[in-house]
Amino acid sequence: MRLTCPNCGAQYDVPGDAIPSAGRDVECSNCEEIWYQTGPGQATPGFAEAAAALAVPAPRREIDPAVRDVLMQEAAREAEARAEELAAQAFAQASLPTAGDVPPAPENLAPADLLPDEDALYEPPSVPETAHITAPETPPVPDAPPPPVAEPALPQPRPERIAQNEADRRRAEAALRAARLPARDELASATKTPARAAPARAPSRTPLAPTGMRRKQARERKARGYAMALPIAAALGAIFVYGQAARITQSVPVITSEITEYVETMDALRDSVTVNGRAFVTWMTGRTG
């Protein structure tokens, strides 16, 4: 039996005994519409067609423009690839020789006709042509270069002239250095307050200890460090035991009496420190006031 939803037009095939003859309520799993479905013998003629005509079509979801563009580009590429493939196939088929292009095989040939001609196999070698070789032309010999002309010797300067030039050069260099140096007054004003020289570092009078002495000193420093660390560790342990007394007694009930006595001692010590501290503060306040 086929059921048709009167709201969305969805159709369902159900067994014939699922709907009794008196009818029953049916719910659509697509749109959750509930209607009364009559039995197989009470179905109204044309009900399914009317329900399908009145059914509201489901709204069509719009595609995102970006997705549409991507799909169109993919379709265009697929069409181009398909066209190129078809063109390649057509070209390959066109390049193949047809039955009319292949020459027919000769008929009624004897085995001797298939052998090559012996005269063609043993042709005499051809006589090579004589090459005409011409002697290369001799390049013309260039004329010999003319002998160099001796230049007249320059007169050598006299020793007195050399000494005079050297003295003039030294005076010019001294004048140039003097022009670059600061003026005497500026130099004197700059040197009135000379900078204080840094004190020389006194040499260390502590002689270097030998290796054995340095090792002994290292052991002593290590021992002093242990001696300072042990009281600190003991104080921290005492504070930890005092703060975690309840948990310790719960974990180890055997030492409950010792822990209780220790806590009472620490409480008494704390009260004593508090009283003495207050008295000291009062005394200091009276002296300073």
pTM of the model: 0.24
Q: What is the pLDDT, as a whole number, of residue 81?
A: 92
The alpha carbon dihedral of 263, 266, 270, 271 has a sign of positive
Query: What confidence score (pLDDT) does residue 131 get?
Result: 44
What pLDDT does residue 80 have?
92
* Ranges of each domain in the chain: 2-54, 244-288
The pLDDT value recorded for residue 65 is: 81
pLDDT at 237: 86
Q: Are 241 and 248 in contact (CB under 8 A)?
A: yes
Sequence-distant contacts of 25-28: CB under 8 A, at least 24 apart: none
pLDDT at 130: 47
Question: Using the 8-state DSSP alphabet, how is residue 199 labeled?
Answer: P
pLDDT beneath 70: ranges in the chain = 41-62, 96-159, 181-210, 289
Q: State the Cα–Cα distance between residues 34 and 243, nearest whole angstrom.
A: 72
Distance CA 271, CA 279 (A): 12
CA atoms within 13 A on the CB side of 188: 3
Summarised one tens digit per residue, pLDDT across range 216-241 is 888 888 888 888 888 898 888 888 88
